[in-house]
Amino acid sequence: MSDTTRNTPSTATKLVAEAIGTFVLVFGGVGTALFAANFPAGSEGNPLGVGFVGVALAFGLTVLAGAYAFGPISGGHFNPAITLGLAVAGRFEWRNTIGYIIAQLIGGALGTTLIVLIGLFGPTDWLANAQDGGFASNGYGELSPGGFGLGAAIIAEILLTGLFVLIILGVTHTVRGTAALAPLAIGLTLTLIHLISIPIDNTSVNPARSIAAAIYGGAGPLSQVWVFIVFPIVGGLLAGLLHRALFEPKPLPADRAEARVR
């Protein structure tokens, strides 16, 4: 067996890395939103809580750390919309998408489940208040932090997920990208996305994150979670198609290429 074959991660190893990376992303981001965004709860002026900026940084930092730690193993997707966007762009094999998505969903669900377990040992009303507040789930209308409607959520999720996937495709390009700095660019982009859209719909751009929070968010978030499954995926697919068409067009057939040279 060659050294190259020996050092290539197995499919199982890649799936475990995707599950752990998604776990870190969800636990870190949703955990910050629930534990630290408004701490101490109900305090006037919120003297210690990290607020929207802290939550945005938490999501960006977790994906940055996960990309550095697990990117060399699995590619560091941690997001079904990214996995599908990369597949459409020709940068990931379609046959591996289902396994990756299942691993991401499991990792995300474990992340919010651990938050619930911590809440069980917290103040008497902490867990009940977190669940009554939607458990940092995504939402529109009455469930939107800023009161934005369904149309705003759809546009934001398609646009921001698309931009996210385009940037990922750009910074991870084997020729044009810089591998050592790619996770930093990706993490900062996710931070910016959250700064823009937390008031709109609590920011999804990741169906695994949305499903994980909605599981414990109650009937309202569960009834709206379809939006945050469908439209981030639409944004990722559109970005993959756009990137492939604009930046990685297929070469001309040999006969046509020869004719053009002449």
Domain hosting 192: range is 7-247
Residue 261 located in a structural domain: no
Residue 46 located in a structural domain: yes
At residue 224, the pLDDT reads 98
Q: What confidence tier does 179 reach under pLDDT thresholds 50, 70, 90?
A: confident
At residue 185, the pLDDT reads 96
Flag the least confident range among 1-10, 11-20, 35-44, 140-149: 1-10
Query: 162-198: string of b/e by CB count within 10 Å (b at 16+)?
Result: bbbbbbbbebbbeeeeeeeebbebbbbbbbbbbbebb
Residue 256 located in a structural domain: no
Residue 132 located in a structural domain: yes
Query: Quick one: which of 90, 258, 259 has its CA closest to 172?
Result: 90
Give pTM, 2 decimals: 0.91
**How far apart are the C-alpha atoms of 195 and 222, rounded to whole Å?**
24
The contacts of residue 199 (CB under 8 Å, 6+ apart) are 52, 144, 145, 146, 148
The domain spanning residue 206 has which CATH number?
1.20.1080.10
Residue 262 located in a structural domain: no
At residue 42, the pLDDT reads 61
pLDDT digits (tens, 9 = 90+) for 28-65: 999 999 999 887 766 566 677 889 999 999 999 999 99
Flag the least confident range among 94-103, 116-125, 205-214, 241-250: 241-250
pLDDT digits (tens, 9 = 90+) for 203-258: 999 999 999 999 999 999 999 999 999 999 999 999 999 999 998 876 545 444 33
Residue 2 located in a structural domain: no
At residue 173, the pLDDT reads 87
pLDDT exceeds cutoff 90 at 8: no
**Domains held by the chain: number:** 1
